Amino acid sequence: MSDRMRVVEITEAGGPEVLKPATRDVPEPGHGQVLIRIAWAGVNRPDALQRAGLYAPPPEASDLPGLEASGEIAAVGPGVDGLAVGDAVCALLPGGGYAEYAVTPAAHCLPVPEGMGLKEAACLPETYFTVWSNVFQRGKLSAGERFLVHGGSSGIGTTAIQLAAVFGARVFATAGSAEKCARCTALGAERAINYREEDFVTILREAGGADLILDMVGGDYIPRNVKALADDGRLVQIAFLSGPKVDMNFAQLMTRRLTITGSTLRPQSDLAKARIADALRAEVWPLLAAGRVAPVMDSEFPLAEAAAAHARMESSGHVGKIVLKVA
């Protein structure tokens, strides 16, 4: 194994063109970490935010983009139990996925679900960790509740629709075209709302109000989400694609007993992420192995063409996940 590896790095803050192929030293796994020889790396919207200079990596993480990957264990650091060289895994990464090798805590690795290829497995960690922790742990979605997810055709949205439906929720999703809406209903949404033509607030209020909303849009969606919630409803914010600031009347939070919360995955502690991994292994990996939920694949690009992958994601023409072929 060479001690140098091919990577794609962010040369400066900017558009997709600032992503450039380069070579770096292969990292070494520290205590409790593994080194993964990457086969496929998932592309996520936070990678584009990092590239644009809007989402700095945590201090100890690689400065290379890439929050998830699949491949095989190439080396294990001291103190690692239960994983050995050659094991096939998919893993949540603190960064560094746009590369031939990456290190991550062993506790953030999950097995490739039975019957699934490495390409699909690379697309699981970032969205499944995010959806599980925000919809089921923080948002406490339960069977029979009405759940609204915005950006229903996104990597996050396609995962949230399937998981919420399989756990017995009534799913509503917004998306920006009739074709994207059709994909959302095919995945399990009982009602997909083309937000360019219909008002999600009216539709949710007619249905009795949303018990839980997962939102990545923010901006003027914040007061509209509050109106769309049922009494005792919860709003979980995972991004602000339209901005984080808004002028709104908060009295409804009190009079209708609403909760507004949110989180980002990347800055959370290794232990917190390991606990999410444990819950996914127990609750969700059997559903993936049984084919009851599956990643929705949009397109693949060679690692060296990561810039084209970002351009596709930022065009919002995609449905589901974009992946980089590394090996």
Ligand X SMILES: NC(=O)c1ccc[n+]([C@@H]2O[C@H](COP(=O)([O-])OP(=O)(O)OC[C@H]3O[C@@H](n4cnc5c(N)ncnc54)[C@H](OP(=O)(O)O)[C@@H]3O)[C@@H](O)[C@H]2O)c1
Under the binding rule (CB under 6 A), the answer on residue 185 touching ligand X is no
Under the binding rule (CB under 6 A), the answer on residue 50 touching ligand X is no
* Sign of the torsion formed by the C-alpha atoms of 99, 102, 108 and 114: positive
Q: Which is nearer to ligand X, 43 or 165 (CB)?
A: 43
Q: Is 310 exposed, middle or buried (0-12, 13-18, 19+ CB in 10 A)?
A: buried
DSSP 26-94: PP---TTEEEEEEEEEEE-HHHHHHHTTSSPPPTTS-SS--SEEEEEEEEE-TT--S--TT-EEEEE-S
Q: Which is nearer to ligand X, 76 or 237 (CB)?
A: 237
Q: Which is nearer to ligand X, 54 or 290 (CB)?
A: 54
Under the binding rule (CB under 6 A), the answer on residue 45 touching ligand X is yes
Instruction: Please state, in angstroms and rounded to a whole number, the distance separating the CA atoms of residues 202 and 45.
Output: 29
> Which x/- pattern over 295-314 shows residues binding ligand X (rule: CB under 6 A)?
------------------x-
Q: Which of 33-41, 138-146, 154-162, 199-207 is the region at the interface with ligand X (rule: CB under 6 A)?
A: 154-162
Under the binding rule (CB under 6 A), the answer on residue 194 touching ligand X is no
Select the residue interacting with ligand X from 96, 97, 151, 295 (CB under 6 A). 151
Both structure tokens of 212? 């839980």
Select the residue interacting with ligand X from 33, 44, 70, 225 (CB under 6 A). 44
Instruction: Please state, in angstroms and rounded to a whole number, the distance separating the CA atoms of residues 290 and 286.
Output: 6
Nearest to 233 by CA among 309, 159, 310, 172: 172
DSSP state of 99: B
Under the binding rule (CB under 6 A), the answer on residue 316 touching ligand X is yes
Select the residue interacting with ligand X from 9, 100, 120, 126 (CB under 6 A). 126
Under the binding rule (CB under 6 A), the answer on residue 94 touching ligand X is no
Under the binding rule (CB under 6 A), the answer on residue 264 touching ligand X is yes
Under the binding rule (CB under 6 A), the answer on residue 175 touching ligand X is yes
Cα–chain-centroid distance for residue 195? Answer: 22
Amino acid at residue number 96:
G
Under the binding rule (CB under 6 A), the answer on residue 68 touching ligand X is no
Q: How far is the CB of 41 from ligand X (least distance, A)?
A: 13
Nearest to 313 by CA among 324, 188, 186: 324
List interacting residues with ligand X (CB under 6 A). 44-46, 49, 126, 130, 151, 153-156, 175-176, 180, 216-217, 238-239, 241-242, 263-265, 313, 316
